[in-house]
Amino acid sequence: MQPMDLTELDLLLDDTFLQYIRRNNDGAIEKWETYIAQHPEIREKVVAAVELYYTINTSEAESDKATQLTRLQQAVKATASAQVRRINWQNYAWRAVAAVLFLAGITMLWKKMQPNTTPVTFLVYSSEWGQRKMLTLPDGSAVLLNANTTVRIPSDYGNKHRHVELIKGAALFDVTGNTDDPFVVTSKQIQTTVLGTSFLVKSYPYEPQSTVSLLSGKVRVSENSGKASPIILAPGEQAGWNETAQEMTRQSFDTIAVHTWKAGKLVFNNASVREVITQLENWYGIPFEIKGNLLNAKRFSGAFDNDKLEKVLNIFCFTAGCSFQIQPDKVTIQF
């Protein structure tokens, strides 16, 4: 076939041309770059074919694109290859419209007839104890991971859904608004659904309760099994699911403390030893073991700005009357 006789469909039915578009085969890339350079008269058709390719597949994941195009080739070659190649419209615009409708129809038909067997893959992000990590998601939403925190994000995030799973730890979410695509966070037994807001989710393996604390916007918190009625939170409210009691609660919380947490500032205001230890466990992501008698332990007030654990414990134990030992897997406090 002469270069001028090629149509956009002819190009899209060529495996090497698809590899040239996807840029995943050096031989195909070299072949078509050389061919186009030798036959500049087909450049406009190449551009049109590329546009058609992405018009049909713009909402599909890359793996799904390959699957759909393979099916398209098989269907066209089996049923209409000869007729398609004889099409010779005078008006380029009508050729483009007809090609779009034809390819879209074949793609939609196969999507309805064939089950989606593409496996879902996940990206896992973790922070070490004593370390914080900031993630920016494809839609612009931000996730601040506390120490010793793990989240799991599907590789097709933003294409078909916005779903994040908090495996363990605490994470602050600043969500980009999108009324057509709600943002969902799952953790243990609860699910939080939002349209655009800022909230903190805590879910530690060693604590029976998971909490969602809302800073701005509006969220819906529900229990996965349906044992409790969903709760709609307003700013300054916190929802908690207690696995032991199997109940959902609503209460207010200290928003200033969460804002200081976000800024990396650890603040204690006349806190008990138990309150200090709990915050230090959550902040640095390492469990504490308390030994001795706490009856005479003094309450503690203080503020720290991204300080190392050793410095915080030195000041705390000087006030509370204790000693400490930092080990690889835990911290021991002796009163």
Residue 245 and residue 269 share a domain: no
Residues 188 and 203: beta-carbon distance below 8 Å: yes
Q: What is the per-residue pLDDT for 56?
A: 58
Query: Closest by alpha carbon to 260, among 302, 295, 315?
Result: 302
Residue 223 and residue 182 share a domain: yes
Q: What is the per-residue pLDDT for 116?
A: 54
Dihedral sign for Cα 229, 235, 236, 240, please: positive
Q: What is the per-residue pLDDT for 153?
A: 92
Helix and strand tally (H, E) in the chain? 10, 18
Q: What is the per-residue pLDDT for 172?
A: 92
Q: What is the per-residue pLDDT for 313?
A: 92
Residue at a domain's end among 113, 133, 165: 113
Residue 103 and residue 163 share a domain: no
Residue at a domain's end among 82, 113, 144: 113
Residue 7 and residue 59 share a domain: yes
Burial of 179 (0-12, 13-18, 19+ CB in 10 A): exposed
* pLDDT, block means (10 residues), the chain with 335 residues: 71 80 79 85 78 56 47 44 37 47 52 57 85 88 90 86 91 87 89 86 83 92 85 93 89 83 82 88 85 85 85 89 88 92
Q: What is the per-residue pLDDT for 111?
A: 55
Q: What is the per-residue pLDDT for 189?
A: 83
Residue at a domain's end among 113, 144, 165: 113
Residues 184 and 192: beta-carbon distance below 8 Å: yes
Q: What is the per-residue pLDDT for 24?
A: 73
Residue 268 and residue 206 share a domain: no
Residue 199 and residue 229 share a domain: yes
- For residue 187, give the CATH number of its domain: 2.60.120.1440
Query: Closest by alpha carbon to 164, among 131, 119, 199, 130?
Result: 199
| Full domain range(s) for residue 18 | 3-113
Quote the number of domains for the chain: 3
Residues 243, 201: Cα–Cα separation, whole Å: 16
